[in-house]
Structure 1
Amino acid sequence: MTTPDVGTDDEGSVTIRCQDNAFVDVTFCDRFSFDADSVHYAVELRAPGLTARVNEVVAWIWDSDLTAFLEELAADYRGWDGERSWQTNDKDLTVSAVFRSGGHVGLTWALRPWPQAAGGWAASVTTRLEAGEQMTSLAADVRAFLTEEHP
């Protein structure tokens, strides 16, 4: 089920909007693939005064899967202690999750292209979603985006 805070659009992208501030969002877009071993896509972060984009985040089939991470968060809708995190093999996209009061999850999305390069940059935004239905919807939408299954 797609909510106003998480959704796919006709262009094959997924946008996650913060329920506290609709001007804060994360978009997965521009998916492409060179081979059966990987999926490449862009990630955009937006907040008042901030726009950041990494054009080529890579998901390898043998990597720890972002979808599985999001599904685990959704399954633990009653909460957990501490912070959980996931990152791409290249460490250019990191997602950290904290369970917050009121049954919400704070997801911090951090972009850091070329993390080993001198003079690199990093940017992050935090979205807040409902721990149950919105997290389940996010996991399903990201799975569909990464596997190119459109509803």
Structure 2
Amino acid sequence: MSLVEVVPGQFEVVVRGSGAQAPSVRLFDWSRADEYEFAFAVEAIDDGVRARLETVTVTVWDAMSEFFDGLARDFHGWEGERIWSNNHLIVTATFGSGGHVYLRWTLRSGFFPGDWNCTVTTVIEAGEGMTAVAADLREFLREE
């Protein structure tokens, strides 16, 4: 996990499990439409597959930061799946053995026949790892 300032004032977040070849998800090109809505691009990479959405629009009511903060708080685990979604991005979290959170990121271009979707799974350590992801996303989304 890393929050990187690519140019002054412009950040990107890369969520990646351990290992050089681990699947990764990159959120970048953040912009604000108004006080309630912002957008960013998402790129998912896994085993030679690369999917990219140029615009994922999120509102303050979508509570994306709150979703990740909740995952970080519950580092002892939970049963079943927790899901955050909007029109083009779905994040499904499950708690697995060894104290790891499995984040399944699904990018989808639309809802009609012929539209594509891509899913990659990043594996994050439940304690400090998930806390770092939540903090980096909160900073990226500018929801301090």
CA RMSD across the alignment: 1.5
CA distance in 2, matches of 1:21, 1:124: 19
Please tell me the residue identity of whatever aligns with 2:30.
R
Q: TM-score, normalised by structure 2?
A: 0.91
Deviation at 1:21, TM superposition (A): 5.6
Q: TM-score, normalised by structure 1?
A: 0.87
Identity of matched residues, %: 40
Q: Which residue of 2 aligns with 1:113?
A: 109
Q: How does 1:1-151 map to 2 (within 5 A)?
A: 6-11=1-6, 12-19=11-18, 22-63=21-62, 65-88=63-86, 90=87, 92-115=88-111, 117-147=112-142
SS of the counterpart of 2:61?
coil
Deviation at 1:34, TM superposition (A): 2.1
SS of the counterpart of 2:137?
helix
CA distance in 2, matches of 1:93, 1:106: 16
| Alignment length (residue pairs) | 140
CA distance in 2, matches of 1:15, 1:80: 25
Which runs of 4 or more aligned residues in structure 1 lie more than 6 Å from their structure 2 counterparts after TM superposition? none
CA distance in 1, matches of 2:74, 2:61: 24
CA distance in 1, matches of 2:26, 2:127: 21
Deviation at 1:148, TM superposition (A): 7.3
Q: Where do 5+ consecutive residues of structure 1 fail to align? A: 1-5
CA distance in 2, matches of 1:106, 1:14: 17
Deviations 1:102-126 (A, max 9, x none): 10011000001222x3310000100
Deviations 1:38-74 (A, max 9, x none): 11000100012200011110111222x1111111111
